[in-house]
Chains A and B, each alone.
Chain A
Amino acid sequence: AQSVTQPDARVTVSEGASLQLRCKYSYSGTPYLFWYVQYPRQGLQLLLKYYSGDPVVQGVNGFEAEFIKSNSSFHLRKASVHWSDSAVYFCAVSGTGANTGKLTFGHGTILRVHP
């Protein structure tokens, strides 16, 4: 069975500071990895995804994530956050095989950026 752990339920940073949101996954095969963001009163939106190739993946709005297989991690980073980045961030994993749209999500990390 696959699982995702986001160990930080809440993260608070000041505007302009760097950010790292942690994600660890458990999956026996080759994982597909995702980061989604949910702004207030909206649905989840994809930030970035990884399957293969360069382990550092660039996403929207200056976000990037690094796949570290040896550590089963896929942490999300941003060099300088803006107050508008305040949202809930979800890490997710999916396996190879038939496409059924089944993603396994973490509990999410609530990010608050102080202006």
Chain B
Amino acid sequence: DPKIIQKPKYLVAVTGSEKILICEQYLGHNAMYWYRQSAKKPLEFMFSYSYQKLMDNQTASSRFQPQSSKKNHLDLQITALKPDDSATYFCASSPPGTGGALETLYFGSGTRLTVL
């Protein structure tokens, strides 16, 4: 059974609309992340949260807003969608540990977003 659930798997939206990508993890992790993989770019870090607090934001646009209603949830709200937002969005989490950058990330299977 998948331990990181992303919903929906596929999403089609029109330009200018708003969508929410859902992520729930059942690994007991305190840190959660969003990454994006577009057609011509490698997987890119977007956000990291730890204990429901924002740790790092590498997304230039405020149209992307993470939302953490529960410790094991980190949804991603995207407003004013553009065709360039078309990508696969991956949620990930990592366990508490000794700290540092060597923590293993566990990824969901992604939400493929297409903006027309």
Q: Which residues of A contact B (CB under 8 A)?
A: 4, 32, 36, 41-46, 49, 51, 90, 92, 94-108
Contact = CB atoms under 8 A, between A and B. Distances in A.
B56 interface: yes
Contact of A46 (B55, B90, B101, B105): B105
A69 to B, nearest CB: 17
Contact of A99 (B4, B100, B108): B100
Contacts of A43: 2, 4, 90, 92, 106-110
Interface string B1-42: 010100000000000000000000000000101000000011
Contact of A44 (B56, B100, B107): B107
Contacts of A98: 55
A107 B90 CA distance: 15
Contacts of B101: 32, 94-97, 99-102
A3 to B, nearest CB: 9
A96 B100 contact: yes
Interface residues of B, number: 28
15 contacts: A36-B107, A43-B92, A49-B102, A49-B104, A94-B101, A94-B102, A97-B101, A101-B33, A101-B48, A101-B103, A102-B58, A103-B105, A104-B42, A107-B41, A108-B43
Nearest 5 A-B pairs (CB), nearest first? A43-B107, A100-B56, A94-B101, A105-B43, A44-B107
